Amino acid sequence: MTTPDGQQNAAAASGDTALGENASEGTGGYDGEAATLSTALEARTAFSGDRSAVSVGEYFQAYRNRIRGGDLGALPALAGLVVLVVVFAALRWSTFTSASNFANLLTQAASITVLAMGVGFVLLLGEIDLSAGVIGGVGASISAQLIDKQGMPWWVTVIIAVAVGLAMGVLTGFLVTIVGIPSFVVTLAFFLAWQGVLLAIASEGGSIPDTNPVIFGLTHSSVSLLWSWVIVIAAIVVWAAYVAVTAQRRARQGLAQPPLTVQLLKVGGVGLLAVLATAALSINRALIGKPDQGIPWIVPIVGVLLVIWTFVQSRTQFGRFVYAVGGNKEAARRAGIRVPRIIIACFVISSGMAVFSGIIEGSRIGSVTASSGTGNQLLFAVAAAVIGGTSLFGGRGKARDAIIGGLVIALIPNGLGLITDSSVWTYIITGAVLLLAASVDAITRRRRASSGR
């Protein structure tokens, strides 16, 4: 600060009282001004929400206020998830709650979830990527073709496919930022154009079998029982330790945070669900022959992606820039953020993740065809992100939204498939759920805007 010494000290001294527990005593005022009634009142409220010790009661009070103010977070999606599970369990108890159906559900959700995580970055900007599904198809066909025809190691083909996806993302980002074409139009054009490329690779009507045991195994084989439990327990312990250590550090620095009990309850709750899920997946799913049990491989892989992207979004400067550009592009520009770079990077992330998603879907189906990723895949992924709580207006959303929304999207056909052979209701209900989620988004957004002023 450029303040003369005396003033700075005075400010620091009264600043301390204002931030401390006894904020109401900090009425000494600045610059020798006499304390007035209004400054006394203000001093009491100053940073009152930032005290390091917040009781559980106060926390829930603040949480209620946030929800009233339109900050619902994952609440609606979680409620929807619970409703769907209860309804399907009630209607088809034996089949819906079977271990094999549960494992099915997870593998069905995986590719949409991964696609939604990547597209989520573009949605955070308030842009759209309609080409991601087809890019996934192109990536998957490249990988499958290189394995099938060239006999390349699977991991080399994955690297090549992802590299192609990244390049496609750069191209999209370039056209959106430098040339200035709306992302809707650019990605619609690529949605069509890349289908031609996919057709050229997969050849008309042809299908490339997924012959690689590793890639096929992503969605068809499971982590051994022992390792399943080791992974789950270790993940919960590491998470709890991280929460506790972070809480301690923030407390030492005098910073506000949710009470540790609440945080640990959250870890405990999610942990308990994970343990129950692992228990369910420990049941043998094979009807005859070799036992089929443990967590499907794809689940821990999606978990790792979730951790990586959550970290990028919430802990890195790049993540902060993405939210800033999505919130107010002009403010971001004036803050010195190189907005075009951020936009290009998000399209690159979207395309890269799309290739992973395409490979996962190829693994689940067992082959890649000229129509892979050209159907509703992308629309489902966007729906998943929105249902999970990502705003189509930009600036709001998290990687975890893709998980919650992806599960909802996968649950609908999974549950209805056990009730009827017809897809009629699957489409109608999925559309209705998306509309509901988008309405929640639009309404809470209005609410947030009006609750401030």
Partner 1 sequence: MTSTQEPILELRGVNKSFGAVQVLHDVHLALYPGQVTALVGDNGAGKSTLVKCIAGIHQIDNGDYLFNGSPVHVTGPRDAAGLGIEIVYQDLALCDNLDIVQNMFLGREMKSGVVLDEAHMENRAKETLASLSVRTVSSVRQLVSSLSGGQRQTVAIAKAVLWNSKVVMLDEPTAALGVAQTRQVLDLVRRLADNGLAVMLISHNMNDVKEVSDRITPLYLGRVAADVAAADVTTGQIVELITTGRSGDIGLSRALAQESA
Task: Please give the residue ranges that form the binding site for partner 1 (CB under 8 A).
Answer: 1-4, 7-8, 11-12, 14-15, 18-19, 30-31, 39, 42-43, 45-50, 69, 71, 249-250, 253-256, 315-317, 320-321, 323-324, 326-328, 330-337, 395-396, 448-449, 451-453
Cβ contact 406:384 at 8 Å: yes
Q: Least separation, in Å, of the C-beta of 354 and partner 1?
A: 25
Residue nearer to partner 1 on the CB measure, 54 or 225: 54
Per-residue tokens: 108? 């069905």
CB of 46 to partner 1, least distance (A): 4
Q: Is the CB of 71 or the CB of 148 nearer to partner 1?
A: 71
Question: Cα–Cα distance between 277 and 407 in angstroms, integer?
Answer: 14
Q: How far apart are CB 31 and partner 1 at their closest, in Å?
A: 8
Q: Which is nearer to partner 1, 4 or 205 (CB)?
A: 4
Please, are residues 360 and 137 in contact by the beta-carbon 8 Å criterion?
A: no
Closest among 115, 107, 369, 114 to 219, alpha carbons compared: 107
Residue 54 CB, nearest approach to partner 1 (Å) = 10
- Tell me how far, at minimum, the Cβ of 13 lies from partner 1, in Å: 10
Q: Tell me how far the alpha carbon of residue 56 is from its chain's centroid.
A: 27
Nearest 5°: CA angle at 349, between 157 and 150?
10
Q: Measured between alpha carbons, how far is 6 from 247 in angstroms, rounded to an integer?
A: 35
Phi, psi for 238 (deg, rounded to 5): -65, -40
Nearer to partner 1, 92 or 445 (CB): 445
Q: Please answer whether residues 194 and 360 qualify as being in contact, where contact means their C-beta atoms are separated by less than 8 angstroms.
A: no
DSSP line for 59-118: HHHHHHHHHHTT--TTHHHHHHHHHHHHHHHHHSHHHHTSHHHHHHHHHHHHHHHHHHHH
Kindly state the smallest distance separating residue 210's Cβ from partner 1, in Å. 36
Round to whole Å and give the CA distance between 294 and 282.
5
In the complex, least distance from residue 78 CB atom to partner 1, rounded to whole angstroms? 21
Q: How far is residue 99's CA from residue 105's CA, in Å, rounded to a whole number?
A: 10
Nearer to partner 1, 30 or 93 (CB): 30
Tell the smallest beta-carbon distance from residue 391 to partner 1 (Å).
Answer: 8
**Cβ closer to partner 1: 17 or 95?**
17
- Write down the residue that tokens 């550009």 correspond to: 325
Cα(355)–Cα(373) distance, integer angstroms: 10
Residue 94 in 3-state DSSP? helix
User: Helices marked H in 394-423 — which ranges?
Assistant: 399-419
Give the nearer residue to partner 1 in terms of CB position, either 11 or 99. 11
- Minimum CB distance to partner 1 smaller for 160 or for 244: 244
